[in-house]
Structure 1
Amino acid sequence: MKSTPVRAVAVPGLVALALTFSACSAGNAEDGDGGNGASSDLTGSLAAGGASSQEAAQNAWIVGFQESNPDVTVTYDPVGSGGGRENFISGAFPFAGSDAYLTDDEGELTAATERCGGEAPIEIPNYISPIALVFNVDGVDELNLSPETIAGIFAGEITRWNAPEIAEDNPNADLPDAGINAVHRSDESGTTENFTNYLDIVAGDVWTAGAIEVWPQEFGGEGAQGTSGVVSAVKSGTNSIGYADASQAGDLSVANVGVGDEFVGPTADAAAKILDVSPRVEGRGDSSIVFELDYETEEGGVYPIVLTSYLLACPSYTGDEAEAGELSKAYLEYIISDEGQDFGAEEAGSAPLSDELQSEVQSLVEGITVE
């Protein structure tokens, strides 16, 4: 296999999740909607949350949205995908971020439909990003890993960095004779579900736990809370490797993953290409735009370990939820606008939606009603 160069993914330091802009931003609001479709006379507070993978992008979107809407305070709590779905279904969040679409495996799709007054919830992709294999290995700056080797490492079957399986794909690397510290998410996580779904499909004979949101303790490794926890554990650990949204990899090294006859790095462009080769989930309604990712693709230049993160919302908001619904619609319109998608890519390394997909998603959000 040949290696495709890795572009470093850096996340600029962004301000805290809850932001209130000073009067100097008000001048921008007076010019109109700031390109986000939101009325500059919006006021109030909007509190939501969910997938921690979206944290950096949500930080950026909050900044951009509030520049044009200085009288709105938006907060996003990165409690994880499971927590996001739970709080959306309970009504605690007017919208939520999730790295996994709703299913009825545990009744979530039905419960979300009931929460939305009997209407199927809106599920739209807003964030496409590679799940990077971040590593901190003594003397190793670049690392190639085949799908089977990745599965072996995280299943606890490959335990040393100079193992033959790793050495075969890295003939020029000075691999240490040291134990592997494999770091995983300790919380319920859509990132974990996407990562283990990849392992299950491409190396199911090695990874035997299936696609799961909660890490199986029998496979060992070090657990860490949230995306930031995994990154911190790998960075501070010795000879460590973990999986995390690439936008939060910071200055950690990231591995190239075997695809066909090459190794591909986790760039935003390479991640975005997987939607071009992936079918949509069958049997979903018009309000659900969700994908079955083709992890086994051998298409050149495609990075296969990808999460497509979704926004969950109701098609209509009434009564006590009307104010939150109005703010949610405006904020979601900003996220999927040209400005929002570009800002997310610039500040958080996410891959903007294709023009066709963006147009379809915009139609759903613009159709949200508030009474």
Structure 2
Amino acid sequence: MKLQRNGRSKALAIGAMALVSSLSLAACGSDDNTSSSTATGSAGASSSAAQIACGKGGQLLAAGSTAQTNAIDVWKAAYGAACSGSTITYGGGGSGAGVQQFNQGKVSFAGSDSALKPAEVDASKAVCKTGQGINLPMVGGLISIVFNVDGVDKLVLDGPTVAKIFDSQITKWNDPAIAALNPGVTLPAADIQAIHRSDDSGTTANLTGYLAKASAGAWTYPASKTWAGKGGQSANGSAGVSAQVKQVKNSISYAELSYAQTNNLKSASIATGASKPVEATAANAATTFAKAKIAGTGSDLALSLDYATKEEGAYPLVLVTYEIVCDKGNKADTVDTLKSFLTYTISDAGQQAIGAKGYVPLPKELTTKVQAVIPTLA
């Protein structure tokens, strides 16, 4: 199931960039990023609705990743406009909470920004009576290092510096390590207010995965959903940390790009070893996704992402949100609607719709693989 190199990688890159280039034509969904259970259909939602094959109806319960909440809102609006007999209810709570609820049989699918661990797969077999939980990549995104620093509009950071900031080894904005990355920028002699997630978070898992690979040993903790760095403040969910950065002067945190855009937060560029720092844009994240490899087996499509990439224009801090479902043993009364909803979300229309909200449409070769698995769910 691994993606082959050369021709297939080139095809991935072309597919990813083609989707990203179409974002300006794909502004589906409302500009309202609130997470209400009911959504009114906009012109974009109505357009997408025409392409949706509805299931048998009923209520579909899901929970998990807050990074994908804005994407789910867009999809709910379009799906609800097409399928009036179906209700999609998504509760955030973070990736850890979502996986826990899935393995307790409380939701039909969970959103997680990190793939299931072996122990979580084993636990899923009690719920997926004739199968097990699998990872279906659905939402591509990037993690912005968001900041609110007096007098600073643009900021460059690298892996070691980000690690030291979030582990309280660098505590002042005018620290020589930050100054060296930002020549000509007047940095205040102010204390850094570092903010991390308080809940178990797939976004945290991806950030710490990046730090473990790209910090030259400055980050001494393993990649994990649970925050391990020293010091700092904490807030719940992507919305929580974003709101804190917006309110607190001289602060820094990490959040999915959609939340950075919604809150009008500035995002740092990342020095990767390429010829110039890489900006936090969907196009630059797409370059990284184009080189992703499938690490899962069978119908499990967990990805291996290269956090340490030094390729020109490749933004390293990416994440993918998986929808966690049973390959076999899904709830009989909702499996039809589950398959219908996921078929829409992984479609070109579904992927392009969330591209307008700061997400990264997944490469065509990857979406084709997901589209092949969904009809086999039972």
- Cα distance per residue 1:29-87 (max 9 Å; x no partner): 9xx97212325xx4321111110000110111111111101221211101100011011
Contact 2:140 2:321 survives alignment (8 Å)? yes
Match of 1:12 in 2: 31
Match of 2:374 in 1: 365
Amino acid aligned to 1:37: A
1:312 alignment partner, SS class: strand
Match of 1:324 in 2: 334
Match of 1:62 in 2: 76
Match of 1:225 in 2: 236
Distance 1:34 1:122, change over 3 A: farther
User: For 2:307 and 2:142, how far apart are their aligned partners in 1?
Assistant: 12
Amino acid aligned to 1:291: L
Aligned with 2:100 (options 86, 95, 112): 86
Match of 2:351 in 1: 341
User: For 1:259 and 1:246, how far apart are their aligned partners in 2?
Assistant: 19
Distance 1:118 1:255, change over 3 A: same
**TM-score, normalised with respect to structure 1:** 0.88
Match of 2:197 in 1: 185
- Structure 1 residue 251 displacement after superposition: 0.4
- Cα distance per residue 1:173-228 (max 9 Å; x no partner): 111010100000011111101101110111152111121211126x1001001101
- Structure 1 residue 118 displacement after superposition: 3.6
User: For 1:216 and 1:297, how far apart are their aligned partners in 2?
Assistant: 24
2:146 alignment partner, SS class: strand
1:302 alignment partner, SS class: coil
Match of 2:291 in 1: 277
Match of 1:292 in 2: 304
Distance 1:15 1:247, change over 3 A: closer
- Structure 1 residue 275 displacement after superposition: 2.5
Contact 1:121 1:287 survives alignment (8 Å)? no
Unaligned residue ranges in structure 1 (runs of 5+) = 1-10
Match of 1:255 in 2: 268
Contact 2:103 2:124 survives alignment (8 Å)? yes
Distance 1:20 1:181, change over 3 A: closer
Contact 1:317 1:325 survives alignment (8 Å)? no
1:58 alignment partner, SS class: helix
- Structure 1 residue 338 displacement after superposition: 1.4
Aligned with 1:37 (options 53, 61, 64): 53
User: For 1:82 and 1:201, how far apart are their aligned partners in 2?
Assistant: 22
Unaligned residue ranges in structure 2 (runs of 5+) = 1-29
Bigger Cα displacement from structure 2, 136-145 vs 108-117: 108-117
Aligned with 1:119 (options 115, 131, 134): 131
User: For 2:110 and 2:245, how far apart are their aligned partners in 1?
Assistant: 28
Bigger Cα displacement from structure 2, 129-138 vs 309-318: 309-318
- Structure 1 residue 288 displacement after superposition: 0.9
Contact 1:64 1:343 survives alignment (8 Å)? no
Distance 1:365 1:251, change over 3 A: same
Contact 1:38 1:333 survives alignment (8 Å)? no
Contact 2:136 2:300 survives alignment (8 Å)? yes
1:78 alignment partner, SS class: strand
Aligned with 1:237 (options 244, 248, 260): 248
- Dislocated runs of 4+, deviation >4 Å: none
Match of 1:199 in 2: 211
- Structure 1 residue 367 displacement after superposition: 1.8
Amino acid aligned to 1:362: Q
Match of 1:159 in 2: 171
- Structure 1 residue 344 displacement after superposition: 1.1
User: For 1:157 and 1:115, how far apart are their aligned partners in 2?
Assistant: 44
Amino acid aligned to 1:360: K
- Structure 1 residue 231 displacement after superposition: 0.3
User: For 1:205 and 1:103, how far apart are their aligned partners in 2?
Assistant: 24
Contact 1:316 1:325 survives alignment (8 Å)? no
Match of 2:121 in 1: 109
- Structure 1 residue 17 displacement after superposition: 3.0
RMSD: 2.1
Aligned residues: 344
